[in-house]
Amino acid sequence: MDKATKSIFITGVGGQGILLASELLTSVAMREGYDAKKSEVHGMAQRGGSVISAVKFGEKVYSPLIAQAEADVLLSFEKLEALRYIKYLAPGGKVIVNTQEIFPGPVSAGLMDYPKDIEDKIKEYAEEAIFIDGLSIAKEVGNVRTVNVVLLGATSYFLPFKKETWKEMIEGNVPPKTIEVNLQAFDKGYTTVANYVK
């Protein structure tokens, strides 16, 4: 099995479940026999603040830190955050963007405008940019708090892990009452990207 090191850079805003997403990804990689490390989540983790997390997995990983132009996948839970961190994407890397817009403080206060051309700018930079409406998918499965698992499902399409392992880790890390809806969210995220790239 090829265990070349892969780097996944995750960004979004506080309150979107980024910590759980990076924890699940790291757990899946380790369960499948990879060495895996994740960074602490940086930034302001309260609601609305910019948050990033980095996960690396491979044969042997010495540090989870990801330099600019090094991420194989940039997973962004919010559109503007994708643009903010797009320079971390490696040449030929993939960016997966949740189209949800969460206005940062200066925009909410009317001091700045939310940029209108974010998707175009991301497409200029990334060879492969995938935009999905994670919030609508989460609403469709019946729980808006599953956006993070929808986006993990979308990302899993490009990673070398078995679906069963993902599902096992989801079942072990979400509240028992929400297992079924989280599994549905994961599947929907996966199939949305599978259809997107066809």
pLDDT of 12 higher than 90: yes
CA dist list (Å): 70 to 8, 74, 86 = 9, 10, 11
- Across the range 148-172, mean pLDDT stands at 98
What is residue 3's predicted lDDT score, i.e. its pLDDT? 85
Sorted by sequence, the CB contacts under 8 Å of residue 99 that are 6+ apart come out as 79, 119, 131, 132, 133, 134, 135
Write 193-198 long-range contacts (CB < 8 A, 24+). 193/96, 193/130, 193/132, 193/153, 193/154, 193/157, 193/158, 194/157, 196/130, 196/132, 197/130, 197/157
Q: Which residue, among 78, 73, 79, has the nearest Cα to 92 in the 3D structure?
A: 73
Residue 189 reports pLDDT greater than 70: yes
Q: How confident is the model at residue 49 (pLDDT cuts 50, 70, 90)?
A: confident
3 or 39, greater pLDDT: 39
Predicted local distance difference test score (pLDDT) of residue 46: 57
In whole angstroms, what is the distance from residue 70 CA to residue 51 CA?
18
pLDDT score of 43? 61
Residue-wise pLDDT for 86-124, tens only, equals: 999 999 999 999 999 999 888 888 999 999 999 999 999
Nearest to 49 by CA among 21, 14, 24: 14
User: Is the pLDDT reported for residue 47 higher than 70?
Assistant: no
Boundaries of every domain in the chain: 6-197
Amino acid 72: pLDDT: 97
Q: Is 119 helix (H, G, I), strand (E, B) or coil?
A: helix
pTM, rounded to two decimals: 0.95
- The pLDDT tens digits of the residues spanning 52-86 come to 999 999 999 999 999 999 999 999 999 999 999 99
Q: Is CATH 3.40.920.10 what the domain over 6-197 is classified as, yes or no?
A: yes
Burial class of residue 128 in the structure, from the number of CB atoms within 10 Å of its CB (0-12 exposed, 13-18 middle, 19+ buried): middle
